[in-house]
């Protein structure tokens, strides 16, 4: 089984050496490292070229003629790989020494799976753990993991991101079925798209181990941002109503785009998109509630009766009350 690493770089010199060294130090050696650089202006290329002279496996460096952005850069990089299994790789993390070995073993033991992801320890700019894992941050807890195992992975992903691309290993043979990566929905980056498509096919699994040190810093292009501050009761009654409705409308629009993308495919049963349709309808209702509180009441009541406020929050009564009174 040939192993490829697909790394995308852009002005990544600050942490790049640490990541490269962790790839070199894998207990299961890789067979090639493919790099697509999105026109870095620092010494990223020099670092990569120097690394290429020090390792036994080939390192192929491709500098894009023009800036592609993260999603299209990963699409290009993945399709340049020749391995049977491809590991997605960011420029600023650090791999656990057994990351490749354990993920390859999982795919060998589960031939029905096309991809596997893992948890990761979050580190700071100084490569020190901050005491959290990415699964803790996104609340992919044991309950969610059981739902995933029980063929509800796609419903989890309809509600938000779970699969971090930096932890993802895929079989090369699935690239033709997920490419090209869509760009109309900007938040639906390469890893989210791959994960949703494969989850609807029941072909993506996970390893409940921290196989990566995921770096969280201010200059990263994509990744986990700081959690938004909770809206206070004072905010709810004093903020401009447009500020409340704008993110709800954006959510409804994005879910509609996702529906269109998935319905256009021939390999996804329509019944698996039922919850997605319900989510989209829910956020569309919330985004278009009238200014009059009296007129909102029957619409909010109908959403509550249908049980759709759980799509907004596990503490469903908070958005419900907000919709009634704000």
Q: Are residues 279 and 145 in the same domain?
A: no
Residue 46 lies in a domain: yes
Are 120 and 202 members of one domain? yes
In this prediction, residue 225 carries a pLDDT of: 47
- Please determine, for residue 267, whether its predicted confidence score (pLDDT) is greater than 60: yes
List, for residues 119-147, the tens digit of each pLDDT value. 999 999 998 999 999 999 999 999 999 99
Same domain, 309 and 180: no
Question: 166, 186, 215: which is the final residue of a domain?
Answer: 215
Instruction: Identify whether 305 is part of a domain.
Output: yes
Query: Same domain, yes or no, for 175 and 89?
Result: yes
Asked if the structure places residue 315 within a domain, the reply is: yes
| Same domain for 173 and 83 | yes
Residue 223 lies in a domain: no
Q: Which position has the token pair 């919709």?
A: 323
Are residue 202 and residue 311 in the same domain, yes or no? Answer: no
Domain boundary among 215, 246, 270: 215
Residue 160 has pLDDT above 80, yes or no: yes
**Percent of the chain at pLDDT exceeding 70:** 93
d(CA 57, CA 212): 21
| Contact assessment for residue 192 and residue 261, using Cβ atoms and an 8 Å cutoff | no
Domain identity same for 186 and 239: no
Tell whether 226 is covered by a domain: no
Q: Structurally, how many domains does the chain consist of?
A: 2
Would the pLDDT of 170 be above 70? Answer: yes
5 CB-contact burial (10 Å; exposed 0-12 / middle 13-18 / buried 19+): buried
Specify the pTM.
0.90
Q: What is the CATH number of the domain that holds 15?
A: 3.90.550.10
Condensed to tens digits (0 to 9), the pLDDT of residues 75-120 reads: 999 999 999 999 999 999 999 999 999 999 999 999 999 999 999 9
Kindly report which listed range (23-32, 89-98, 156-165, 178-187) carries the lowest average pLDDT score: 178-187
Instruction: Mention every residue, 6+ apart, whose C-beta is less than 8 A from residue 293.
Output: 324, 325
Q: Are residues 207 and 242 in the same domain?
A: no
Predicted confidence (pLDDT) per residue in 184-225, tens digit: 888 889 999 999 999 999 999 999 999 999 998 655 555 554
CA dist 104 and 196 (Å) reads 21
Torsion of CA 65, 69, 70, 72, to 10 degrees: -70
Same domain? For 203 and 244 the reply is no
Residue 157 maps to a domain: yes
- Residue ending a domain, among 164, 183, 215, is 215
For residues 321 and 192, membership in a common domain is answered with: no
Q: Do 167 and 26 have their domain in common?
A: yes
Mean of the per-residue pLDDT values of the chain: 92
Position 251 scores a pLDDT of: 95
Residue 220 located in a structural domain = no
Please give the Cα distance from 163 to 196 (Å, whole number): 9
User: Residue 220: its pLDDT value, please?
Assistant: 52
Same domain? 239 vs 210: no
Q: What would the pLDDT profile of 232-248 be if each residue is shown by its tens digit?
A: 556 666 667 888 899 99
Least confident stretch, 59-73, 177-191, 268-282 = 177-191
pLDDT at 244: 87
* Full residue range of the structural domain in which residue 91 is found: 3-215
Whether 177 contacts 267, CB under 8 Å: yes
Helix axes 190-200, 241-263, angle to 10 degrees: 60
65 inside domain: yes
pLDDT band per the 50, 70, 90 thresholds, residue 183: confident
């Amino acid at each position: 089984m040939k192993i490829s690493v697909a790394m995308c770089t852009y002005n990544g010199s600050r942490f790049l050496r640490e990541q490269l060294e962790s790839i070199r130090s894998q207990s299961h050696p890789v067979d090639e490292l493919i790099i697509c650089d999105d026109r870095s202006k620092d010494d990223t290329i020099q670092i990569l070229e120097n690394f290429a002279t020090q390792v036994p496996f080939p390192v192929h460096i491709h500098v894009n003629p023009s800036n592609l952005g993260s999603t299209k850069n990963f699409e290009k990089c993945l399709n340049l790989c020749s391995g049977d299994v491809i590991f997605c790789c960011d420029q600023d993390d650090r791999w656990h020494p057994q990351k490749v070995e354990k993920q390859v073993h999982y795919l060998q033991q589960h031939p029905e799976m096309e991809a596997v992801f893992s948890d990761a320890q979050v580190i700071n700019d100084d490569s020190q753990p901050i005491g959290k894992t990415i699964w803790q941050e996104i609340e992919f807890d044991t309950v969610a993991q059981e739902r995933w195992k029980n063929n509800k992975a796609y419903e989890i992903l309809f509600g938000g991101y779970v699969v971090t691309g930096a932890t993802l290993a895929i079989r090369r043979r699935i690239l033709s079925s997920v490419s090209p990566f869509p760009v109309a929905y900007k938040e639906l980056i390469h890893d989210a798209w791959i994960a949703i498509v494969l989850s609807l096919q029941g072909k993506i699994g996970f390893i409940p181990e921290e196989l990566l040190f995921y770096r969280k810093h201010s200059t990263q292009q994509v990744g986990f941002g700081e959690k938004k501050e909770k809206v206070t009761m004072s905010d709810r009654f004093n903020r401009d109503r447009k500020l409340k409705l704008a993110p709800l409308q954006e959510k409804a629009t994005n879910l509609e785009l996702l529906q269109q993308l998935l319905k256009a495919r021939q390999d996804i049963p329509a019944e698996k998109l039922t919850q997605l349709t319900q989510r989209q309808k829910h956020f569309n209702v919330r985004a278009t509630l009238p200014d009059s509180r009296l007129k909102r009441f029957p619409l909010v009541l109908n959403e509550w009766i249908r049980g759709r406020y759980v799509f907004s929050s596990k503490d469903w009564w908070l958005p419900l009350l907000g919709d009634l009174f704000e």
